[in-house]
Amino acid sequence: MWGMIATWRMALEGVTKGAGMLEQGKNAGDAVEAAIREVEDFPYYKSVGYGGLPNEEMEVELDAAYMDGDTLSIGAVAAIKDYANPVSIARRLSSESVNNVLVGEGAEKFAHKEGFERKNMLTDRAKAFYRKRKKEVAQQELKPYSGHDTVGMVCLDNDGKVTAATSTSGLFMKKKGRVGDSPIAGSGFYADSKVGGASATGLGEDLMKGCISYEIVRLMKEGLHPQEACERAVRFLDAELKERRGKAGDLSLIAMNKEGQWGVATNIEGFSFAVAVEGKKPAVYLVKPGEDGHCTFEEASKEWMDDYMKTRMAPVEE
């Protein structure tokens, strides 16, 4: 049994590619890396890789991670600039015995020495979004940019290996040096081939407060189905945050267990995800959060899919 699940509609092309590789017997490490690179390379996705939206200082700083569920090896980069595929750098770091998580200049130095592709990741389109946002709001609370966000994936191959990976430009207009949940093990991602994996998108500052990806894997280890594990973890963290802080940021999670069963949960409207498992072709689903924390989902219609791409590629009106 193989399978792959990922946050947001934008992951579909990557999931399709990764699923093709898994079908041919490729391993979950190669498949998840190739799938995330596909998203990083597409210039119209403005929260991952090339075309990602910049920080306050108009620089694109990227976070990415990779985890191998067989060995529990982790690699991550944070606030890295000017490299095309942060996920590949993260995966490369996961094979080092130490120095697995590198930030900023150190991450860039490592990438340069290892021969990774340098690239100016700030597109004219992203600059236009920057200027527009600057004009719109002088002072606004940092929050996830609606509907784009982090790509996080969990992948299972035919040999039972589970991997997880993430890639993001983080929150639009974040402070220089700000790091979200995506490169933080246990928060943005976690994978254990004996159990399964999970990955997050939403407000990093809040996702971290619950180490929520690890929590989901832990719940699956206790025997919960991934759907129940996701719902329980999201419901719990959402309630804790509201009780203790008066509000909860966006929390959206995906998970898959070692049997290829999967689940999702969110506390927002508008969360979508892409999934492919052996015997079923890749598809995008839209999630509806219920009052009781129980989430329902349905496959995205053709109209929704068409409209999605149209919006993504529409000119930026400044």
Judged by CB under 6 A, does residue 182 bind ligand ASP?
yes
Shortest spacing between CB 176 and ligand ASP, in angstroms: 14
Find the helix packing angle between 86-94 and 104-113, rounded to 10°: 80
Enzyme catalytic residues = 150
Judged by CB under 6 A, does residue 202 bind ligand ASP?
yes
Among 251, 270, 266, residue whose Cα is nearest residue 211? 251
Among 18, 204, 210, 226, which residue interacts with ligand ASP (rule: CB under 6 A)? 204
> What is the rounded distance in angstroms from the CA atom of residue 112 to the CA atom of residue 150?
24
Of the candidate spans 49-57, 120-128, 166-174, 240-248, the one that interacts with ligand ASP by CB under 6 A turns out to be: 166-174
Q: Which residues pair with 284 in a beta bridge?
A: 274
Of the candidate spans 197-205, 213-221, 266-274, 289-297, the one that interacts with ligand ASP by CB under 6 A turns out to be: 197-205
> What is the rounded distance in angstroms from the CA atom of residue 83 to the CA atom of residue 103?
13
Nearer to ligand ASP, 182 or 272 (CB): 182
Q: In what order do the strands lie in the sheet with 262-266?
A: 189-192, 196-202, 251-257, 262-266
Among 294, 255, 68, 224, residue whose Cα is nearest residue 152? 255
Shortest spacing between CB 140 and ligand ASP, in angstroms: 16
Judged by CB under 6 A, does residue 144 bind ligand ASP?
yes
Shortest spacing between CB 289 and ligand ASP, in angstroms: 16
Among 170, 260, 282, 293, which residue interacts with ligand ASP (rule: CB under 6 A)? 170
Strands (E), the chain: 3-7, 62-68, 73-80, 101-103, 151-156, 162-168, 189-192, 196-202, 251-257, 262-266, 272-277, 280-289, 295-299
Q: Kindly state the tokens that stand for 62.
A: 């990227």
Q: How many residues bind ligand ASP (CB under 6 A)?
A: 13
Lay out the site mask for ligand ASP across 97-136 (x = CB under 6 A, - = otherwise). ----------------------------------------
Judged by CB under 6 A, does residue 186 bind ligand ASP?
no
Query: For residues 282 and 15, is the Cβ–Cβ distance under 8 A?
Result: yes
Nearer to ligand ASP, 197 or 260 (CB): 197
Query: Where along the sequence are the contacts to ligand ASP (CB under 6 A)?
Result: 144, 149-150, 168, 170-171, 180-182, 201-204
